[in-house]
Chains A and B, each alone.
Chain A
Amino acid sequence: MKQPYKTINRYSKWQYLVIIFTIAILSLNALPNWFGEKAALHVQSSAPNTTKLDNANLFNLLTEQGIAVEQIEQQNKQSIILLKDETQQQKARNSLDALLGEQYSVAMAMESASPSWLKKLGAKPVKLGLDLRGGVQFVMQVDTDAALHEREVKIEKDIKQLLREFKAHGARIGTVKDGSMVLRYPEHIQAKISLVMQELSTLYPQLSQHKNNNQQITIATNEQFAQTYHQELMSQNIKTMRDRIEALGITEAVVQRQGSHFIRIELPGVQDPSQARRIIGATASLDFHQLQSVGGHLYKSNSGEMVRLATSAIMSGTHITDARAQFGEMGQPEVFITLDSAGGKLMSDFTKDNIGQPMATLFSEYQQNEQGVLQKNSKVISVATIQAHLGSRFTITGMESLKATQELAMLLKAGSLTAPVTIVEERTLGPSLGEQNITNGMAAIMLGLSMMLVFMALWYRKLGLIANVALLLNLICLLGLLSLVPGAVLTLPGIAGFVLTIGMAVDTNVLIFERIKEELKRGKSTALAIHHGYKNALSTIMDANITSLIIAIILFSVGYGPIKGFAITLGFGILTSMFTGIYVSRALVNIFINKPSKQVKSSQLIKQVSV
């Protein structure tokens, strides 16, 4: 019996090395969770030529405000302020922001509280979801249908314009319905119409034209274009939201797409949603208009007077590729705008003939009124005299303050986004609720874990102890993996996933041990029983774990927020429990139960494993 003994129940040295190495790496990554996180502020000068901040000065400023500072350290050009009290983070940020003025940016963040050697290794604690940390969550709806409709109306206008240009008298364009419109015309102007259509297809290559008969053409936006347009709007909007939130000074915000029309925004640490709501809730669009003395539309300007503008714009904000706030030659704040080539051409064509004439910048914002209905509020933000022949780069002046200029620049950058965005969901979770959730979740883990440890030790004795070691290693590995993988977030359902993993990990060992007992009852030797127990249970374990893994993957791809957190812990938990339950427990069994030098008689093991 000694021959199969050594060959069947031994791992080679490299296998033990792999196990030790994996566990060491994952435990090291799990370690920072022991130390936790501290609320912090990142202070950085936003302009290059401002004076460097003195950390002692920062400390005094904050202490005067009654904010307890633990430590301030300098990292590159950033001052990182660790706060004693997490609940003071928002207050500290707001007062520093006000005290330091506009030349510095103050951002809220969480800093690992682990010792510096651990930080240097790059190990970080697991990210906590909003339900465990507190914060504000928004879900925004992007009304791409409205944007698409607006575009169709624009096409209709362009067709009318073309019909006038080509003098196609008598032609009539119907209104847009379900993405298509019908052009009717008398038969004798067919030649002119085909020229118009040719021009139209160069302007809008995505439009399909269908000639119904000699007097009628149907023009339609094709379905595929509508799809891509929708996708582009969504991703552009997500980007805009990211930019806007960056301006809010929240470094760990989550902005992600939810379903087809929604964007989910999580702002950890924020307690007052009103400021965030104002910034992210607006949709801005910008148009450049010519001034008129009669007709047109009346708009209110920044200075309060009424300005009469031409109905159609010279150029819309969709041509803006970049907008930046800067100081002009006279020291006044201004926005520097860069246009794309089409926009540059439009601007150039217009300004060439209109030097000395005034041009107005009309800023429109979609906002919800009290009834929850979207309204387009427009105001003239600047009226400037065209000094020179403008190209694709120019500046706008006339804002109230630097802050207003910065906000405008930020909003202009998103000028190409004209889809109305509304907040359809808003949740505020107080930090005390998050703390309570963590305490409750930990209590559940502790109770579940201790029940399991006691049961396994009593039921399987020596094998049970091995299973318990494997179980504890499994939890450490899972925590390490969650901390290691970027994007993994621990949520309250995620903690539930942890507890379920405990059950699942134990199942793996139960399957194996029951098999071993069966084999022993059949009269096999300890070594053979262990060998066959592991071997025979393997396919069942695989079947069971693979099906659970499929579920976790589906849950991950469909769910978001807390549910995604559950899917992540469940999925990773399956992986780590397979590793520890099969591989590590086998190694332990090989070392401790199956020692060739200290052979356990099969009869003894039966006694040990069957109560």
Chain B
Amino acid sequence: MKTNKSGFTLARYIGLYCSIVIVLLSLLVMQFKGFNFAVDFTGGVITEIQTSQPVRQQQLQEALEHVIEQPFSLTNVGNDSQWSIRQAISGDKMPETSLLMNDVNESFSIKVLSASVIGPQVGDELFEAGGLAILASLIAMMIYLSLRFEWRLASGAVAALFHDIIIVLGVFSWLQIEFDLTVLAALLAVIGYSLNDSIVISDRIREMLSSNTKGSLNTIINSAIRSTLTRTLITSGTTLGTVSAIWLLAGQPLQGFSIALFVGIVVGTFSSVCLSVTIPERLNLKREHYQVPEKT
């Protein structure tokens, strides 16, 4: 099966083992660190404010502590003049923070840009819906793959899919990046992207297997990767470029979204080369599996 290992094959196998380690690490991190869920899921109060002039975090924190009784966290959203105040629900009562902003007596004035109050009930249902969406997408993808490809190639793509999702989740857990609804949407988009890459390579392997290209399976796989590599790199590169544009310019509301996509695309490119075709090889993919009757 693996006769003469070329550098390419070696790289693929090293990649495969690295992936397994990273996936296990991600699972461990998720187990121990959990997620930093946004108010979308946990319920709570977010008040976004704008100060009349740029202020230091310390200064604003102290000024707000005079008026807000409940514990809150303050983050800078932009240019030291836009801030977001987050509070969890304490007891049954929702803190009415936005009403308190006029009472801040400092050298600057505060304007409330947005005020959100989210009850915990909504989050519970969102959680279910989100989980359902991911599950439904995974199942739909598996059905589609099993229709289009023989099970060995399909399971390679599916493994790459799970790999990508788990690592993106792992990164979010490890860095405790806020997990909000847009991140969920990004995860689903990652599922799509991850498959795209795997499909392009698998398609090529299928094509080569059924057209009786000479050479061992290993050479076929390597040449399939080689011939799609330019495309894979261009597409990943350009998509990463556009995602970076969102990351850099679209502002704080899409931060989590673009980070999830960025990580997902990097990992997805890696997994499509290392996992999605190496696993079918390990599963004993053979030329005979794609000896479809010749088309006329």
A540 touching B250 in the complex, CB below 8 Å, given contacts A428-B114, A554-B133 = no
Shortest A230–chain B CB gap in Å is: 14
Contact: A259 with B125, CB < 8 Å? Answer: yes
Other-chain residue from B98, B144, B184, B249 in contact with A428 (beta carbon distance below 8 A) = B98
Bound complex: CA of A36 vs CA of B112, how far in Å? 26
B contacts with A, residue count (CB < 8 A): 68
B137-171 CB mask vs A (1 if < 8 Å, else 0) is 10011001000100000000000000000000000
Other-chain residue from B125, B184, B230, B251 in contact with A260 (beta carbon distance below 8 A) = B125
Contact: A547 with B141, CB < 8 Å? Answer: yes
Contact: A496 with B118, CB < 8 Å? Answer: no
Interface of chain B, main secondary structure: helix
Contact: A371 with B93, CB < 8 Å? Answer: yes
Other-chain residue from A371, A443, A452, A559 in contact with B133 (beta carbon distance below 8 A) = A559
- A603 contacts chain B at the CB level, 8 A cutoff: no
Other-chain residue from B118, B251, B257 in contact with A436 (beta carbon distance below 8 A) = B251
Set of chain B residues within 8 Å of A424, measured between Cβ atoms? 118-119, 121-122
- A570 contacts chain B at the CB level, 8 A cutoff: yes
- A539 contacts chain B at the CB level, 8 A cutoff: yes
- A212 contacts chain B at the CB level, 8 A cutoff: no
Set of chain B residues within 8 Å of A428, measured between Cβ atoms? 98, 112, 114-116
- A558 contacts chain B at the CB level, 8 A cutoff: yes
A contacts with B, residue count (CB < 8 A): 69
Other-chain residue from A455, A547, A566 in contact with B185 (beta carbon distance below 8 A) = A566
Other-chain residue from A259, A425, A511 in contact with B117 (beta carbon distance below 8 A) = A425
The residues in A between 545 and 566 inclusive whose CB is less than 8 angstroms from any CB of B are: 546-548, 550-552, 554-555, 558-559, 562-563, 566
- A430 contacts chain B at the CB level, 8 A cutoff: yes
Contact: A510 with B203, CB < 8 Å? Answer: no
- A459 contacts chain B at the CB level, 8 A cutoff: yes
Other-chain residue from A131, A371, A499, A546 in contact with B242 (beta carbon distance below 8 A) = A499
Set of chain B residues within 8 Å of A131, measured between Cβ atoms? 253
Contact: B144 with A503, CB < 8 Å? Answer: no
Bound complex: CA of A539 vs CA of B207, how far in Å? 11
Bound complex: CA of A547 vs CA of B203, how far in Å? 14
Other-chain residue from A500, A510, A543 in contact with B234 (beta carbon distance below 8 A) = A510
Contact: B249 with A440, CB < 8 Å? Answer: yes
- A99 contacts chain B at the CB level, 8 A cutoff: no
The residues in B between 58 and 107 inclusive whose CB is less than 8 angstroms from any CB of A are: 92-94, 98
Bound complex: CA of A550 vs CA of B141, how far in Å? 8
- A492 contacts chain B at the CB level, 8 A cutoff: yes
Bound complex: CA of A158 vs CA of B4, how far in Å? 86
The residues in B between 229 and 254 inclusive whose CB is less than 8 angstroms from any CB of A are: 230-231, 234-235, 238-239, 241-243, 245-246, 248-251, 253-254
Report 22 cross-chain contacts, Cβ distance below 8 Å, ordered by A residue. Answer: A259-B126, A370-B93, A371-B92, A372-B92, A424-B122, A428-B112, A429-B113, A433-B48, A437-B253, A447-B245, A448-B245, A448-B246, A451-B238, A496-B182, A496-B258, A499-B245, A499-B250, A543-B199, A547-B199, A548-B193, A551-B188, A567-B185
> A259-B125, A261-B121, A540-B199 provided; 13 other pairs, C-beta below 8 A?
A371-B93, A440-B249, A444-B245, A447-B249, A503-B235, A503-B243, A506-B238, A518-B227, A547-B196, A551-B137, A551-B140, A554-B140, A558-B132
10 shortest interchain CB distances as A-B pairs: A424-B119, A448-B242, A503-B239, A448-B245, A427-B116, A447-B245, A558-B133, A440-B251, A548-B192, A544-B196
